[in-house]
Each structure stands twice: as C-alpha cells, then as structure tokens.
Structure 1
Amino acid sequence: MIRATQIADLGSAPLLQMETYWHQKRGDRLMPSRADIDPAEIKPLLPQIIMARIEHDPFRVRYSIVGTACARSAGFDYTGRYLDELMFESESDTDWLQIYAEIVRERKPIAGVCRFRTAHTEIPYRVGVFPLSSDGHRVDQTISYEHLTLSLGEMEQVLPAKPVR
C-alpha cells in the first residue's frame, strides 16, 4: 500500500464520506465503537465495506462483514473467515496483517492506494481502514471502505481468493 497523508488526497468521494462518518461517530473519543455504526446511515457505501474483528491473544483478524462488491472482486464471500486462512492472489503489494497490527498499535485510520491484480493487469484502488473500540481504548474491530471498480472484462479475469486451511 502506498500511504496517503490525508484521505482527501486520494480523490475518492465515498472514502471521504466514510472518513467524515467515522469522525462524526467518534465525537470527542479516540475512536467510535461498533455499536455507533448504523448501516442505514451509510447504505450507499455498504457494497464496498469490510468489517473485521480483532483478536488479541493470539493476534488474528476475522472478517465479520464483507460487502457484496468486495466479495465479488475477491471471487467469493469470505465473511466469517480469518485473514490467515485466506490467500488473496489479487493483492500484489499490501501486507494486510501488518496494516491491522499498525491500526491496533496506533489507534488511527490508515488509508492509501493498493494494487489489485487480475490475470492480465494491475489496477490501483483506494482504501481506508478505520479502528473501532468497545472500551474507547483498545481496537477490537475495524471498518474499511475499498474504492475499487472493475469492468465486466476485468471481473472475468479476477484471481479468486483461496482458503489456505
């Protein structure tokens, strides 16, 4: 992932909308909780939303919600699966475990540009990952928005994610 200093620099209106929503929900706190997130308030964003639960001992990431557009670009719906159970052949430059570990450590959103690989090309896409906390201190979930639009031809060339266990 090529990191962005500010989400506004990524030129994605939906990603900027997600950032604004996250800030509104957190208010004066370090980060909002999952209970603060109302899917009805971000309905247009839902197809490209991914929510993950963070387990701390041992450190693991489990996908609790995978939007329909994200599942389609991955080649299957990986809701309920752990990150370490999946191999995303379409990801060419992002260490997602490292990204989640940094969010847990820093308790701040991370955003940037990733590369999505199909059978014949690589396509840049923009993403923002936002921390959530039940107790206001420890990150125990995340909400992400992936701004990736694939043409019909590109969809036919998707390298599907594969379970490794």
Structure 2
Amino acid sequence: MAGQAAGSFGSGERARKITDEPQFIDVPEHPSVVELLAYFEGKRGTREMADRADVRPSEIARLMPSMIIAEAVNGGGEFRTRLFGTALVELVGEERTGKLLSEFAEEGAIAKDKDAVQRRWLYITRKTYFGRKPVFAKVPFAASGRLYHVGHTISVPLTAGGDGPAQVVGGIFVVRAGEKLL
C-alpha cells in the first residue's frame, strides 16, 4: 500500500486508453478506505454484514464528507441516496441526497453523459448489495484524454435488523493521478 502511485491502474496505465470504467481491486490501497473497511468489519463481527444500527457517524465523522449512504428500493433494483457527503457534492458539482441513483446527472469524471454516470453508480452499488460483501474500486477522473484524479472507493452492504442487505454505504477518496499514497 505505502508508496504506490495513486493513479496506477496496473502496468502500462498511462499508455492504456482511459475509459469511464472502474477498476475493481481485491485489497484497498487508500488509507481512508482501509480505515473504513476496518470500521465496518469491526461492526460486523461474526455476522455476514454489519447492521445500520451498529454504525455511529460520530465514530467516523472525519470520513463522512466523502461518504454516501444508499437505501435499496424495489429489492435492489434501484437505490435512493440518504446521504451524499459534502466532499462528494464538491467533487461532482451536484447535491444528490434524496435522489435515486438513476437520477444522477453528469459529473466531472470521464463519463460523457449522465447515462454512463448512472450505470457506473448502479453497477458498483448492485455489485455490493447482491454480492453481500465489500467492494473496492479505483475510478478514473479525466479530461481531454488525460487522467488527472483517481477515486479510491469502498462500498459495504448493511442490514436493517434482518439478514439481508438494506443499504449500501460507500466512500470515495480522490487523489491526484501519480500521487503516492502514504
């Protein structure tokens, strides 16, 4: 983890065509993603997933501006945003609290249209919800074919008093392309 370039999408990344597709990774690389994973794993204990009643925002207050909480609608066919942190609002230029993921508009990422933005958000959220385990990804932010930021993400499913997932909690932590992670 330490010393890795934040913009690394694998060998030859700079020569590779930049797309709007996230790169799923098995192990988180960003320190804040590692911290959130440890927090949710601690809350989960021996259960398959942590319950939303176990989560105390005051315990992760420093990370909340970069977090999203999405509640499942229609059995995971759609998700409504219950929280869209202030750092995320600044990043994408849109307040999304209360919106369905299918209502998200364009953002400062490489995605060329709102449909691509919505597909990416829904795909990652559904992968987490139906997979019933944490998902980690790196998401490129680019302009004019040049990678300028990388978003390190985590998505974690939560129950709501039952056995199945009810919400997905996520975080996006953005660093400049090529920046070394501590």
TM-score, L = length of structure 2: 0.73
For residues 76 and 44 of structure 2, the distance between their equivalents in structure 1, rounded to whole angstroms, comes to 27
Contact 1:89 1:117 in 2 (8 A): no
* CA distance in structure 1 between the partners assigned to 2:162 and 2:143 by the alignment: 39
**For residues 45 and 106 of structure 2, what CA distance do their matches in structure 1 show?**
35
Equivalent residue, structure 1, for 2:171 = 145
CA contact (8 A) 2:129 2:167 kept: no
C-alpha contact (below 8 Å) 2:153/2:171 kept by paired residues: yes
Residues 98 and 58 (structure 1 numbering): CA distance in 2 closer, same or farther, change over 3 Å? closer
**Paired positions, count:** 147
What does residue 126 of structure 2 align with? 101
* 1:78–1:134 distance in 2 versus 1, CA, 3 Å: same
> Structure 2: how far apart are the matches of 1:32 and 1:38?
12
Separation (CA, whole Å) in 2 of partners of 1:104 and 1:29: 16
How is 1:35-114 mapped onto 2 (pairs within 5 angstroms)? 35-57=53-75, 59-92=77-110, 95-114=120-139
The answer as to whether partners of 2:109 and 2:141 remain within 8 angstroms in 1 is yes
Partner of 2:18 in structure 1? none
Determine if contact 2:129/2:168 at 8 Å carries over to the other structure. no
Separation in 1, partners of 2:54, 2:158: 9
Measured after TM superposition, the shift of residue 23 of structure 1 is: 0.3
CA positional deviation for 1:86: 1.4
What letter matches 1:112 in structure 2?
A: A
Write the distance in 1 (CA, Å) between the matches of 2:39 and 2:172: 15
The alignment partner of 2:50 has SS state of coil
> Tell me, which stretches of 5 or more residues in structure 2 are unaligned?
1-21, 112-116, 177-182
Identity %: 25
TM-score (norm 1): 0.80
Contact 1:129–1:143 (CA<8 Å) still a contact in 2?
Answer: yes
SS of equivalent residue, structure 2 residue 37 = helix
The Cα offsets for residues 81-101 of structure 1, whole Å up to 9 and x where unpaired, read as 011011234343772212222
Q: Do the aligned partners of 2:68 and 2:171 also contact (CA within 8 Å) in 1?
A: yes
CA distance in 1, matches of 2:58, 2:49: 20
Q: Which runs of 4+ in 1 moved over 6 A?
A: none
Q: CA deviation at 1:64?
A: 0.5
* AA of the residue aligned to 2:123: Q
Change (3 A) 1:91 1:56: farther
Shift of 1:112: 1.4
Residues 73, 139 of structure 1: CA spacing in aligned structure 2 closer, same or farther, 3 A cutoff? same
Given that 2:68 and 2:83 are in contact with CA atoms closer than 8 Å, whether structure 1 keeps it comes out as: yes
For 1:3, the equivalent position in structure 2 comes to: 24
- Residue 19 of structure 2 corresponds to none
